[in-house]
Structure 1
Amino acid sequence: MKHLALHLSLGAALAAGIAVPAAAQTFEGPYVGAQAGWSQNKLGPVDTDLGTARIGDKRDSATAGIFVGYNIQPAAGVVLSAEGAVNFGFDDGLARSQKDASAAINPEYGFDLGLRAGYLVTGKTLVYARGGYENVRTAVRILDLEGPRRGKDNLDGWSVGGGVERAVTDRVSARVEYRYSDLGGGGTKWDRHQVLAGIAWHF
C-alpha cells in the first residue's frame, strides 16, 4: 500500500511538473485572435486635410477587431510580444453645429502596431503592459465660411495600456485589456479610452 501511495504521489508530482511548462508554452510563438469591447472618443478641435473640425464632445460606442502577434520568452516567466491589429467602431461618429459652422468626424476603422512586456505570475496567467503606434481612418465633413467640404483623413497617435491574459488550453487564451490612445498632435485634441476582451489561438 505504501508503494502504491508513493507511486501515485510521484505520478502526480510528475504530471504537475509537466503541466506548468506546457501551459507556459502557450505564450511562446505566433498567435491570432479577435477582440471586442467599449470605446470612448473625446474630441476637441481636430486638424484635418479639409480644415479644422471643431467638435468639443465625447461618445461611447462598441468596437471590435482582429489581431495577430508573436510571443517570445527571453527569460523564465518573462514574455515579450509584437502585435498588430485592425479595429472597427460602431455608431461612433461625432458632430457639432454652430451658428455659422458645422463639423462631423466619423472614425471608420483603425490599426495599431505595438509591443507588450509581461510576466507569468502563474504558469497560465500573464500580466502585461503595452504601448505602440495608432492610426485611425476618418470621414470628415466641414461647413464654414469657405463652404461645404467632405473627405477622408488619417490621424496618427500612440497608445499605452495593460491587461491580463489567461491560458484556457495549451492553444487558446483569453484576455482583458485597458488602453488609452492619444490621437492628437499639433492643434488636434483626440483622446480615446478602451476596455477590450479578446480570445487568441496560439500555434
Structure 2
Amino acid sequence: MKSVIYTAVAAVALAAVAAPAAANAQSFTGPFVGVQGGWEENDVRNPGTALGVTPLAQTSDTGTLGVFMGYDHEVYPRIVVGAQAEVNFPISSRFGNGLAAISPKRSVDLSLRAGYLVTPKTLAYVRGGYSNTLVGANIGNLHSSDDRDGWLLGGGVERKLTDKVSARLEYRYTDFSEGNGKFDRHQIMAGVAYRF
C-alpha cells in the first residue's frame, strides 16, 4: 500500500517539474495542492473484517476533512485530464449496535479525472480510481484494525476564483465491499485548491 502511495506522489511531482512554464498560462494546467471537507455516509451490512463477519447492518453520517495534491493538463482545447492523491479523516466515525461496531479512520485516494471546460474558468469533470481505508472493528471485547481496498467513482465542478485559486464541489461513491458483505461510502466534498 505504501509503495503505491509513494509511486503516485512521485509521479505527480515529476509531472509538475517536467511541465513547461508556458503551460501555466492555461487555466487548468499545472500542479495544485488543496484542502477539502464535507459530508460522508458509510453504509455497511455484515462486512468482513479481521475478526470475521461483523454482525452489523447500519448507516452512519459524519463530516470529513482532508488534503490533496495533483496535476492537471489541458490535452486538447477544453479537455483536461489529471491525477490526484489525497488523505481524508472522518470527524466522528464509530457506529454500531451494542454487539458490534465499525470505526472508519483515515482513507487514502488515488484517482484520475477527465473534464470539459464549460467556460475558460469552469471545469465539469468525472473522477475514478483506487481507495484504501483503515477500519477498526469490534465484536464484543474483540478488536481489530485493518486496511480495506476499494474503488471510487464520482464527478463535480471546479471554478477558478483567481489565477491561482479554484474552488470545487463533487460527489463520490466508494465501494469497499468484500465477499458477501457490504461496505459503501457516499461523500459530498467541497474544496479549495492553490495552483502553481
Q: Taking structure 2 as the reference length, what is the TM-score of the superposition?
A: 0.85
1:118 aligned partner:
115
Structure 1 letter corresponding to 2:106 = Y
1:183 aligned to 158, 176, 180, which one? 176
CA deviation profile, 1:50-84 (whole Å, cap 9, x unmatched): 21112101011100100010001111111001001
1:10-159 map, 5 Å: 25-97=26-98, 102-143=99-140, 148-159=141-152
Q: Secondary structure at the match of 1:112?
A: strand
1:187: Cα distance to partner?
2.5
Number of residue pairs aligned between Structure 1 and Structure 2? 175
2:187 aligned partner:
194
1:119–1:127: 8 Å Cα contact kept in structure 2? yes
Structure 1 letter corresponding to 2:31 = P
1:7 aligned partner:
none
1:24: Cα distance to partner?
7.0
Q: Distance in 1 between matches of 2:108 and 2:27?
A: 25
1:92: Cα distance to partner?
2.0
User: Given the alignment of the two structures, is residue 166 of structure 1 paired with residue 159 of structure 2, yes or no?
Assistant: yes
Greater CA radius of gyration, 1 or 2? 1
Q: Distance in 1 between matches of 2:32 and 2:85?
A: 11
Gaps of at least 5 residues in structure 2 are: 1-22
Two-structure CA RMSD over aligned residues (Å)? 1.7
Gaps of at least 5 residues in structure 1 are: 1-21
In structure 2, relative to structure 1, the CA distance for the partners of 1:24 and 1:116 (3 Å cut) is farther
Q: Distance in 1 between matches of 2:181 and 2:68?
A: 27
Moved over 6 A (4+): none
Structure 2 letter corresponding to 1:54 = P
Q: Percent of aligned pairs with the same residue?
A: 47
1:157: Cα distance to partner?
0.8
Q: Distance in 1 between matches of 2:137 and 2:25?
A: 46
Q: Secondary structure at the match of 2:97?
A: strand
Q: Distance in 2 between matches of 1:109 and 1:77?
A: 35
Structure 2 letter corresponding to 1:66 = V
Q: Secondary structure at the match of 2:93?
A: coil
